Amino acid sequence: MKKTELVFIPLPGLSHLISAVEAAKLLLQRDHRLSITFVIIKFSNNNLVDAYTQDISSDPNPAISSIRIIHLPYQEIVASDTFLFDVIENQIPRLRNVLSELVQQSSARIAGIVVDMFCTKFVDVADEFGLPCYVFFTSSASFLGLFSHLTSLKFEHNQQLTQYKKSDAELSVPCISIKVPATVLPAAVVTEGPLTELSFDCFKRYSRIKGVLVNTFYELESYAIRSLSNGKAPKLYPVGPILNLNHKFGSSKSQSGDDEIEKWLDLQPDSSVVFLCFGSRGTLEVPQLKEIASALERCGHRFLWSVRKPPPKGKVQLPTDYENFDGILPEGFLERTKGRGKLIGWAPQIPVLSHVAVGGFVSHCGWNSILESVWCGVPVATFPLQAEQQLNAFQLVKEFKMAEAIRMDYNKDYVGPQEEAEIIGSEEIEAAIRRLMEVDGNSGVKEKVRKLQKESRMAVEEGGSSYNAQISFIEDVINNFG
């Protein structure tokens, strides 16, 4: 009997690739009738992506080793707000050729393509081959519902969404149980320009999608999932939390510097350390770093702080580590906090959050980081920077009541090229960290996170809500194709 094959096409970049691969692994483990091919798009010569895909190819697990990987030639792209959409557009002819070869030559039955949430332009290519197109959505069900609602307002009700830029208005959104302040809407939906138009063009195509795999679980987003599971296309499959749990202190996946972090954490009392990390692309300017440093110095809590160096202006690059911290922190800060604080560059986030010494997490509120904090049972203080992070922060604090707010509406995307970024003062940061780390003061927040921690693990076990959604997706793929 021929296997049923899915072709995954993740967004360029390591974080979206890892999430997609982890999702594929789960599907392969659930049903031996499946096989999966990954088509990897790169916008630069990314050694991290190369190393990761080599690890997949050498994985001894029989199910995982059956993943086939096809690399499209990398492109050097000029830095711009729309560069990711430019990459996707430029790869359409190459993807068409790859799918043509797969359809003609594969020993399996090609049952559909699974594209990243921003790659819906590829639905046109799937249609050419008569293949159903699915989306792997790496953000929340609430964000999926919000963007669907805003797309409807823009195209069906002819609303000018620019009216909500820096507005005091509040919106009623069907998939969110409380009103949403306009200040937490993503900048890309309330401004004018090519990025906004391309973003809405991407989401308009969701009406042509067969189904959406969402990296969430029912117990976390029950209101949004019920709202979106209304019988209309596309069908929703809440299959998360999907996390890369292979990276552990002392494992073969650990990197140089991990040992030093682990040794330092081992010396700290349980739940005493606040961990500050702003994601794989998150950086802050020097004046803001100094305010955070002042807050950490005054609050007295132990801290582990990941500080990354921004890429050069106009370059499409990831942040890098500082060689030293001279000139970016208050003079004498390192000496005055020696012993109770540690500054690092890149952070192994899951191993750190899993350590018993960590009691709080100052986060940019990227969706992956939120799922990791829930999985590890660590409450968050919100410091969003861009994209949909403000919406995530708002929901964590106001709807889910599982986080403390430093800010919910801080948005670097609103800062123009000639403008100075707003600086959040040290007093505001210090107060939030104190609330986060109090033993009894935020017990409601801590209890909610611990409850969700148990539910997140049960969801992916056999019989759990996400396990059942994964099985439902597999059956639908096979039956729809059959």
Report the number of distinct structural domains present in the chain. 2
Q: Which residues constitute the domain of residue 131?
A: 4-240+460-481
- Is residue 251 in some structural domain? no
Is 254's pLDDT higher than 90? no
- Is residue 161 in some structural domain? yes
Residue 439 confidence (pLDDT):
62
Rounded mean pLDDT, 34-57 = 80
Same domain as 288, residue 228: no
Residue 84 confidence (pLDDT):
86
Residue 252 confidence (pLDDT):
47
Same domain as 425, residue 444: yes
Residue 418 confidence (pLDDT):
61
Same domain as 50, residue 198: yes
Spell out the SS3 assignment of the chain.
CCCEEEEEECCCCHHHHHHHHHHHHHHHHHCCCEEEEEEECCCCCCHHHHHHHHHHHCCCCHHHHCCEEEECCCCCCCCCCCHHHHHHHHCHHHHHHHHHHHHHHCCCEEEEEEEECCCHHHHHHHHHCCCCEEEEECCCHHHHHHHHHHHHHHHCCCCCHHHHCCCCCEECCCCCCCCEEHHHCCHHHHCCCHHHHHHHHHHHHHHHCCEEEECCCCCCCHHHHHHHCCCCCCEEEECCCCCCCCCCCCCCCCCCCHHHHHHHHHCCCCCCEEEEECCCCCCCCHHHHHHHHHHHHHHCCEEEEECEECCCCCCCCCCEECCCCCCCCCCCHHHHCECCEEEECCCCHHHHHHCCCEEEEEECCCHHHHHHHHHHCCCEEECCCCCCHHHHHHHHHHHCCCEEECCCCCCHHHCCCCCCCCCCCHHHHHHHHHHHHCCCCCHHHHHHHHHHHHHHHHHCCCCCHHHHHHHHHHHHHHHHHC
Is 268's pLDDT higher than 80? yes
- Is residue 285 in some structural domain? yes
Same domain as 166, residue 96: yes
Residue 22's pLDDT band (cuts 50, 70, 90): very high
- Is residue 131 in some structural domain? yes
Is 78's pLDDT higher than 90? no
Same domain as 76, residue 138: yes
The least confident of 31-45, 261-275, 283-297 is 31-45
Rounded mean pLDDT, 272-298 = 94
Same domain as 268, residue 224: no
Rounded mean pLDDT, 140-166 = 95
- Is residue 253 in some structural domain? no
Same domain as 323, residue 219: no
Residue 318's pLDDT band (cuts 50, 70, 90): confident
Tell me the average pLDDT of the chain: 90
Is 441's pLDDT higher than 60? no
Is 379's pLDDT higher than 90? yes
Same domain as 133, residue 86: yes
The least confident of 72-76, 340-344, 398-402 is 72-76
Residues above pLDDT 70, as percent of the chain: 92
- Is residue 337 in some structural domain? yes
Same domain as 279, residue 188: no
Is 409's pLDDT higher than 90? yes
Is 445's pLDDT higher than 80? yes
Same domain as 347, residue 212: no
Residue 245's pLDDT band (cuts 50, 70, 90): confident
Is 62's pLDDT higher than 80? no
Residue 327 confidence (pLDDT):
85
- Is residue 250 in some structural domain? no
Residue 194's pLDDT band (cuts 50, 70, 90): very high
Same domain as 268, residue 220: no
Residue 442's pLDDT band (cuts 50, 70, 90): low
Whichever domain contains 184, its CATH number is 3.40.50.2000
Same domain as 388, residue 428: yes
- Is residue 267 in some structural domain? yes
pTM, entire model: 0.94
Is 44's pLDDT higher than 70? no
Tens digit of each residue's pLDDT (9 = 90 or more) over 294-310: 999 999 999 999 999 88
